[in-house]
C-alpha cells in the first residue's frame, strides 16, 4: 500500500527523471518500466515513532486506546494513543506531521520504552527528497545544497525558509518571521512545534532537535589514572581480649527473643538524699554515686520477683532460681567495656555496695580485674546516662534473663501533688528481658517496685543490712 501511495504521489517526478536520464527514445524500450514503476523502500520514507521514557523507572506500558488508525493523517501534538503504566495513565502525542502506515501494538498490548510504537510516512522528509530531485542538474548539486541549507539555519540556497504550508500558515496568522524561528527539523526545517515554542504556546525545550542537528560530543583523550589498591589504605586489627570475647557473648545473646519495657523515674528525692550523704561517705573515703542506690533498689525488688534473678537452662528447658544477688554493672575501662558484678548485694548496705563498686572501678582502670569479678552474675544494670542518651535497648547477658539500661537524668517540668509545675529530676529506665522466661506483666511490676524505692529512698533504709 505504501508503494502505491508513493507511486500516485510522485509518479510525475519519477517520469520526469526517467525522461532526463534516458531520453524520450528509450522510454519505449523494454527497460522503461523498470525505471518508471520502481516501488521499493528507496521511495518509502517511513519513520518509526519510538515510545519515549515517561519517567518513574517505567520500562513497559499497556496500550489502552488508539486515537488513530492506519491511513490517518496527523500533525504534531495530535493525540495518538493512551497508555497505562502501573502508576499512571499517559496520553502519547505525535512528534511528526504525516500519515500513519503501521500500528505496532493492538489494544491491551504491551509496549516497551524505546521500541517502535507506530510508523509514519513523514511529509517533511518526502517533500524534501522530491524537491531535491527535480532535474538532473539539481541531482548533481544536491550534496552542496544541503550543506548550504544547514549552514543557513533552515534556509534554502535561494534564502527561502524550509517549512511546510501548514507551518507557514500558522506563522502568517500569528505574524511570525520564520527566519527568526530556531529550526529543529531535518536539514534545518522549521516545524510546527518550533513556531508554537517561539510563540510560547508550549514550554521551551518541548521540541527536540533532529539528530542530524545535534552536535556530536568532542572526543577528548582521557589519561587513564593508575589503579589504587584500597588495601594499602586499610588496617587489619585482629580481635583479642575483651573485644574477642564480646563477639561470642553478643552472638549468643542475640539468639534470645528480647522483650523491652521503658518507664521514667522521678529521682528528685534521691538527688537530695545522695547530696546529704555524699559528704559523710567522703569522710570515710567512699565515693558515693547513684549506682549503689540503683543496685540496692534492684536487690529489694528481686526479693519480690525472684524469676528475674534466675537463669534459663535451654538444654533441660528449666529455670534456675538464684538466692544470691550478684548484680553485674557495665563499666568502661581502657581495655574496653567490661561487666563485673557486685557479690551478694542483698546482704550489703548502700555504703558497702559503694565501697565494692569503687574497688571494681579501680581494678578495671588498672586492667587488674580477675575472673572471679565476672563469675556467677545473676542480674545486670548499665548506666549509659553517664556518657549521654536517654533511651537504650540493652542486650541480655546470657545465662541471665534481664538487664536494665539507665538513661541520663534531666531536669524537666512536672506537676506536683497540688497541680503546680515544678522542676523534677527525671531518669528513663529501659528494661530488656528474655521473653522465653519473663512476660510483660512481671517486668512491668518489677519496674514499678524498683521505681517506688528510688522515688522514696527512705524505703531503702527500712531494709538496710
**pLDDT tens digits, one per residue of 13-32:** 444 444 444 444 433 444 43
**pLDDT at residue 222 in the model:** 60
- Would the pLDDT of 290 be above 60? yes
For residue 228, give the C-alpha cell.
589504587
The answer to whether the 45-122 and 165-199 domains have the same CATH topology is no
Rounded Cα distance between 205 and 193, Å, is: 10
Domain ranges of the chain: 45-122, 165-199, 243-461
Residue 189 pLDDT level (bands cut at 50, 70, 90): confident
Cell 524500450 locates to: 29
Residue 294 pLDDT level (bands cut at 50, 70, 90): very high
**pLDDT at residue 333 in the model:** 85
**pLDDT at residue 362 in the model:** 93
Find the Cα–Cα–Cα–Cα dihedral 20, 26, 32, 34, rounded to 10°.
Answer: -70
**Could you confirm whether 439 is annotated as catalytic?**
yes
Rounded Cα distance between 326 and 216, Å, is: 78
Phi, psi of 397 (to 5 degrees): -90, 110
**pLDDT at residue 266 in the model:** 96
- Nearest Cα neighbor of 75 from 45, 96, 47, 93 is 96
For residues 277-296, average pLDDT? 93
What is the tally of helices (H) and strands (E) in the chain?
13, 18
**pLDDT at residue 130 in the model:** 37
- Would the pLDDT of 178 be above 50? yes
Provide the CATH topology of domain 45-122: OB fold (Dihydrolipoamide Acetyltransferase, E2P) (2.40.50)
- Would the pLDDT of 42 be above 50? no
The three state secondary structure string of 393-455 is CCCCCCCECEEEEECCCEEEEEECCCCCEEEEEEEEEEEEEECCCCCHHHHHHHHHHHHHHHH
For residue 118, give the C-alpha cell.
507506530
**Lowest mean pLDDT across 50-54, 80-84, 93-97, 337-341:** 50-54
pLDDT tens digits along 119-130: 988 754 444 433
Q: Angle, to 10 degrees, between the axis of helix 291-304 and the axis of helix 350-366?
A: 120
**pLDDT at residue 359 in the model:** 94
Contact 457, 273 (CB under 8 A): yes
Residue 4 pLDDT level (bands cut at 50, 70, 90): very low
The DSSP call for residue 143 is H
Contact 162, 128 (CB under 8 A): yes
Say which residues have a Cβ less than 8 Å from residue 131's Cβ, sequence separation at least 6.
none
**Lowest mean pLDDT across 47-51, 152-156, 227-231, 400-404:** 152-156
- Would the pLDDT of 102 be above 50? yes
3 state SS of 1: coil
* Pick among 1.20.140.10, 4.10.320.10, 3.90.580.10, 3.40.1190.20: CATH of 165-199: 4.10.320.10
Contact 85, 61 (CB under 8 A): yes
Angle (CA) 316-317-322 rounded to 5° is 90
Find how far residue 340's CA is from the centre of its chain. Answer: 43
Average pLDDT, the chain: 79
**Lowest mean pLDDT across 31-45, 79-93, 185-199, 205-219:** 31-45
Rounded Cα distance between 300 and 348, Å, is: 11
Contact 43, 10 (CB under 8 A): yes
Residue 156 pLDDT level (bands cut at 50, 70, 90): low
Residue 465 pLDDT level (bands cut at 50, 70, 90): low
**Lowest mean pLDDT across 11-15, 248-252, 296-300, 329-333:** 11-15
**pLDDT at residue 430 in the model:** 95
**Lowest mean pLDDT across 64-68, 71-75, 131-135, 179-183:** 131-135
Rounded Cα distance between 241 and 244, Å, is: 5
Parallel, antiparallel, or unpaired: how do β-strands 341-342 and 379-383 relate?
Answer: unpaired
Rounded Cα distance between 156 and 127, Å, is: 13
- Nearest Cα neighbor of 434 from 257, 289, 261, 262 is 257
- Nearest Cα neighbor of 391 from 378, 405, 375, 410 is 405
Q: Higher-confidence residue: 101 or 185?
A: 101
For residues 185-204, average pLDDT? 82
Q: Higher-confidence residue: 291 or 154?
A: 291
Q: Which of 38, 210, 344, 435 is catalytic?
A: 435
The DSSP call for residue 163 is B
Rounded Cα distance between 270 and 354, Å, is: 15
Rounded Cα distance between 156 and 451, Å, is: 93
Contact 401, 433 (CB under 8 A): yes
Residue 89 pLDDT level (bands cut at 50, 70, 90): confident
Residue 144 pLDDT level (bands cut at 50, 70, 90): very low
Strand partners for 260: 432
For residue 3, give the C-alpha cell.
508503494
- Nearest Cα neighbor of 377 from 325, 433, 439, 300 is 325
- Greatest alpha-carbon pair distance for the chain in Å reads 134
**Could you confirm whether 44 is annotated as catalytic?**
no
Find how far residue 111's CA is from the centre of its chain. Answer: 28
- Would the pLDDT of 357 be above 60? yes
Residue 270 pLDDT level (bands cut at 50, 70, 90): very high
Instruction: Name the class of domain 243-461.
Output: alpha beta
Amino acid at each position: 500500500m505504501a508503494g502505491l501511495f508513493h507511486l500516485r504521489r510522485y509518479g510525475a517526478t519519477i517520469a520526469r527523471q526517467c525522461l532526463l536520464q534516458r531520453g524520450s527514445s528509450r522510454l519505449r524500450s523494454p527497460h522503461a518500466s523498470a525505471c518508471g514503476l520502481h516501488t521499493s523502500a528507496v521511495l518509502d520514507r517511513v519513520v518509526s515513532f519510538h515510545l519515549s521514557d515517561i519517567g518513574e523507572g517505567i520500562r513497559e506500558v499497556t496500550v489502552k486506546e488508539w486515537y488513530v488508525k492506519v491511513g490517518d493523517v496527523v500533525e504534531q501534538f495530535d493525540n495518538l494513543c493512551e497508555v497505562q503504566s502501573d502508576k499512571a495513565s499517559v496520553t502519547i502525542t505525535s512528534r511528526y506531521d504525516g500519515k500513519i502506515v503501521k500500528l505496532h501494538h493492538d489494544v491491551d498490548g504491551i509496549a516497551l520504552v524505546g521500541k517502535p510504537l507506530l510508523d509514519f510516512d513523514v511529509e517533511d522528509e518526502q517533500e524534501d527528497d522530491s524537491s531535491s530531485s527535480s532535474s538532473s542538474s539539481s541531482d548533481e548539486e544536491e550534496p552542496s545544497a544541503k550543506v548550504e541549507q544547514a549552514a543557513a539555519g533552515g534556509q534554502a540556497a535561494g534564502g527561502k525558509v524550509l517549512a511546510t504550508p501548514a507551518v507557514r500558515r500558522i506563522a502568517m496568522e500569528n505574524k511570525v518571521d520564520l527566519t527568526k524561528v530556531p529550526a529543529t527539523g531535518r536539514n534545518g526545517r522549521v516545524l510546527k512545534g518550533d513556531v508554537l515554542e517561539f510563540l510560547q504556546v508550549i514550554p521551551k525545550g518541548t521540541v527536540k532537535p533532529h539528530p542530524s542537528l545535534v552536535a556530536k560530543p568532542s572526543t577528548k583523550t582521557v589519561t587513564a589514572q593508575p589503579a589504587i589498591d584500597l588495601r594499602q589504605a586499610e588496617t587489619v586489627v585482629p580481635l583479642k581480649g575483651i573485644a574477642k570475647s564480646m563477639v561470642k557473648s553478643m552472638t549468643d545473646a542475640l539468639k534470645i527473643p528480647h522483650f523491652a519495657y521503658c518507664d521514667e523515674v522521678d529521682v528528685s528525692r534521691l538527688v537530695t538524699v545522695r547530696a546529704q550523704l555524699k559528704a559523710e561517705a567522703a569522710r570515710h573515703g567512699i565515693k558515693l554515686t547513684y549506682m549503689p542506690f540503683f543496685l540496692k533498689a534492684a536487690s529489694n525488688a528481686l526479693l519480690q520477683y525472684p524469676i528475674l534473678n534466675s537463669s534459663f537452662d535451654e538444654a533441660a528447658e528449666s529455670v534456675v532460681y538464684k538466692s544470691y544477688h550478684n548484680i553485674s554493672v557495665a563499666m568502661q575501662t581502657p581495655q574496653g567495656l567490661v561487666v563485673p558484678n557486685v557479690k551478694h548485694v542483698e546482704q550489703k548496705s548502700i555504703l558497702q555496695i559503694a565501697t565494692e563498686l569503687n574497688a571494681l572501678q579501680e581494678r578495671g582502670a588498672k586492667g587488674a580485674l580477675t575472673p572471679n569479678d565476672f563469675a556467677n552474675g545473676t542480674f545486670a544494670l548499665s548506666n549509659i546516662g553517664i556518657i549521654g542518651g536517654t533511651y537504650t535497648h540493652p542486650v541480655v547477658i546470657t545465662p541471665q534473663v534481664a538487664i536494665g539500661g539507665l538513661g541520663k537524668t534531666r531536669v524537666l517540668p512536672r506537676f506536683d501533688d497540688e497541680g503546680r509545675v515544678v522542676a523534677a529530676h527525671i531518669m528513663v529506665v529501659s528494661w530488656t528481658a528474655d521473653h522465653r522466661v519473663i512476660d510483660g506483666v512481671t517486668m512491668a511490676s518489677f519496674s514499678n517496685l524498683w521505681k517506688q524505692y528510688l522515688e522514696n529512698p527512705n524505703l531503702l533504709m527500712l531494709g538496710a543490712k
